Amino acid sequence: VPVLLFVAAPYIRRYVAGGRCKSTARLEGKVVIITGANTGIGKETARDLAQRGKVIIACRDIAKAEAAASEIQAETGNQQVIVKKLDLADTKSIREFAEKFLAEEKELHILINNAGVMLCPYSKTADGFEMHLGVNHLGHFLLTFLLLERLKQCAPARIVNVSSLAHHGGRIRFHDLHGEKCYNRGLAYCHSKLANVLFTRELARRLQGKFQRQAELNALHPGSVYSELVRHSFVMTWLWKIFSFFLKTPCEGAQTSIYCAVAEELDSVTGQYFSDCQPAYVSPRGRDDETAKKLWSVSCELLGIQWD
């Protein structure tokens, strides 16, 4: 058995790695924002895109973000890897980030909503939202709203929402969105990832015909990645270490994010869901247009915005 495993190991790793983005598209003169790009797949996405154009790393932890930016700058030779403060658990921070960005940068071509939390003990954001819903969905919902006009002005543009296969286990519990009646941190993560898929679907529908030039908006599952995302769970951290051989590396996990951001064949593809750089199956709840419309309305109400 050990010999068989040794022989099979390269093939197992190749299978686990999944699809790779083969696009060599350049991004000269273009600006990319990646949230949560100081670690994991966000950092690897930034590393790749920094070889193509200007990248803005939007993170809560400035020290980690500066370290990641310096590493990427040294590796790629691109000094246009810029750090900006963004805390998705605080709508004030999101608004401040957007205001400063719009004042300092005249263009935005790609927005990658990558940052996320997973398996958090019950807690709330600065605005009283359950943490998974607040960061993974509402934070990115507001950020996209605030930056959308700049994306429109710079179209063709792309918005990439990092969701998860976990959306299959989610449901939008409108009667208890913030988990005050019943909370399970695993399910809370699933619910927020379903919200990502529904947001992608509804925004794509609303944007049809609204851009003078093309704009694509897609969601994705990065795969099971060996990263810090499971840090809130001792059990998951332990399991991740044991089974790391069967998990994607952050670089492998970033491939579908990169693909959705730059692949030429997606120039007219929008409102879809990808995994391993190819279309993937969306759960029935993720295809429910009525739930998507209601979630949109409730999200606007919670954030105090009008987005028609």
The owner of tokens 């930034």 is 46
| Active-site residue (options: 15, 122, 183, 189) | 189
Q: How many residues does the chain have?
A: 308
15 counts as catalytic: no
> Is there a contact between 290 and 201 (Cβ–Cβ < 8 Å)?
no
Can you tell me the distance from the alpha carbon of 9 to that of 5, in angstroms, rounded to the nearest whole number? 6
Which strands make up the sheet holding 81-85, listed edge to edge?
Answer: 81-85, 53-59, 27-35, 110-113, 157-162, 215-221, 273-275, 278-279
CA dihedral (301, 303, 304, 307) positive or negative: negative
Q: Which residues, in sequence order, are CB contacts of 10 under 8 Å at separation 6+?
A: none
Q: Which residues, in sequence order, are CB contacts of 253 under 8 Å at separation 6+?
A: 40, 41, 44, 222, 223, 225, 227
Residues forming the active site: 189
